[in-house]
Amino acid sequence: MSILTPDIQSSLEAQGIELPSWAFGNSGTRFKVYGTPGTPRDPFEKIADAAEVNRVTALAPSVALHIPWDKVDDYAALRAHAEDLGVSLGTINSNTFQDDDYKFGALTHLDPKVRQKAIDHHLECIDIMDATGSRDLKIWLAEGSNYPGQADLRGRQDRLAESLQKIYARLSGEQRLVLEYKFFEPAFYHTDVPDWGTSYVQVAALGERAMVCLDTGHHAPGTNIEFIVMQLLRLGKLGSFDFNSRFYADDDLIVGAADPFQLFRILFEVIRGGGLNNPDVAFMLDQCHNIEKKIPGQIRSVLNVQEMTARALLVDRAALAAAQEAEDVLAAHAVFMDAFSTDVRPALAEWRESRGLPADPMAAYAASGYQEKIEADRVGGVQAGWGA
């Protein structure tokens, strides 16, 4: 008998993890952006690559776009292209960190003309959401200061609140604003949205359709991220995840690569708080594959999330509750470790085959010939990457 009960299988079958279009483009470090064979030349090819991930995993039903990196003349055509390939267009991500006007801020800038320019960019993003059918506008702000005394910290918060209100007022229907936070970089003395509390305060003032985005790499070393997950779920304000992995700061490595146990603990709190397969809590990757091939990197990532979800679902909740009630510290910890230490890979492989999917999606992709085809076909054009 499989260790994956029918209830666990049902939960896993419903799981969906949104892929970032930029993960398929060129990326690199602050010093170098690398070109790789087969890199997409436009958003249409990025979506085709994302669809390959979904084809072998059935885990990636949607693709997030980044504006202006993914601007096209006809968003209806882009949407139709995605649907023809079996995926949909998801979160629209804004960009206010690559324009000279935003050197000292965008939505927080002292100059009202610069603030309006940044607001107008977000209104354009919402227009794109209207065309693509996307629900979420995700905002990450590379804004702050490098030196004490450089900026009026309170004034910047006030201007941010005013700017966000103007953007939020443009949303319609089920559309949401999701505000991401990051504790530092590129600003080093202070960041305008450095933590979940600041993001929560700002979105709580906006309304019900404003939420917090939690990027697993955007915290100081040692931060108990699962506690933040619990708290935001408890408050009904966890709108989305950006899953990745880090050793030092915002490394944007494959999720689960650096600390699989942390990913397990996060997913346990997601399940405990009712966030798994909850339409109000979007799962998304936010990674850059600098040295590994893009499509296999994304396949490995969604499989890592699936594997740790399965392990988290194996936690004996009744036994855990009993040990906690008895204040039996070691018994409670053992319940956690028993689930985390369970090798779910053979059961997952068998379950995939029962659904008509490859038992080993990584091997299936390698054998498909798709990588060789795109490397041969995508020659002579401008590869799409950061800033494209």
| 1 in any annotated domain | no
Average pLDDT, the chain: 96
Q: Nearest Cα to 352, choosing from 309, 315, 303, 312? A: 303
Mean pLDDT of 273-281: 98
Which pLDDT score, from 0 to 100, does residue 387 have?
Answer: 64
Is residue 302 within 8 A of residue 60, CB to CB? The reply is yes
Has residue 344 been placed in a domain? yes
pLDDT, mean of residues 150-178: 98
Name the pLDDT band for 151 (thresholds 50, 70, 90): very high
Same domain flag for 335 and 309 = no
Instruction: Based on the fold, state whether residues 336 and 355 are members of the same structural domain.
Output: yes
pLDDT digits (tens, 9 = 90+) for 47-59: 999 999 999 999 9
Residue 6 resides in a domain:
no
**Averaged pLDDT for residues 237-260:** 95
* pLDDT at residue 385 is higher than 90: no
Residue 378 lies in a domain: no
Q: What is the pLDDT of residue 388?
A: 58
Per the structure, the complete domain to which residue 79 belongs is given by 11-313
Peptide bond into 186 cis (omega under 30): yes
Quick one: 228 and 126 in the same domain? yes
Q: Is the bond preceding residue 20 a cis peptide, omega within 30 degrees?
A: no
Domain with residue 226: its CATH number is: 3.20.20.150
Domain count, the chain: 2
pLDDT of residue 44: 98
Whether residues 159 and 229 fall in one domain: yes
Rounded CA gap, 373 and 375, in Å?
5
Q: Which of 313, 344, 377 is the last residue of a domain?
A: 313
User: In a 3-state reduction of DSSP, which class is residue 308?
Assistant: helix
Cα dihedral 109, 110, 112, 113 in deg (nearest 10): -70
The stretch 119-136 carries a mean pLDDT of 98
pLDDT of residue 98: 92
- How sure is the predictor about 259, in pLDDT bands with cuts at 50, 70 and 90? very high
Examine the pLDDT at 372 and tell me if it is beyond 90. Answer: yes
Q: Is the pTM of this model over 0.95?
A: yes
The per-residue pLDDT for range 189-233, each reduced to its tens digit, is 999 999 999 999 999 999 999 999 999 999 999 999 999 999 999
pLDDT at 30 over 80: no
Q: How many degrees, rounded to 5, is the angle at CA 286 between CA 313 and CA 221?
A: 75
Say what percent of the chain tops pLDDT 90. Answer: 93
**3 falls within a domain:** no
Give 78's pLDDT tier (boundaries 50, 70, 90).
Answer: very high
Residues 308 and 324 in one domain: no
The pLDDT score that the predictor gives to residue 20 is: 97
Do 350 and 303 fall within a single domain? no
How far is the C-alpha of 364 from the C-alpha of 372, rounded, in Å? 14
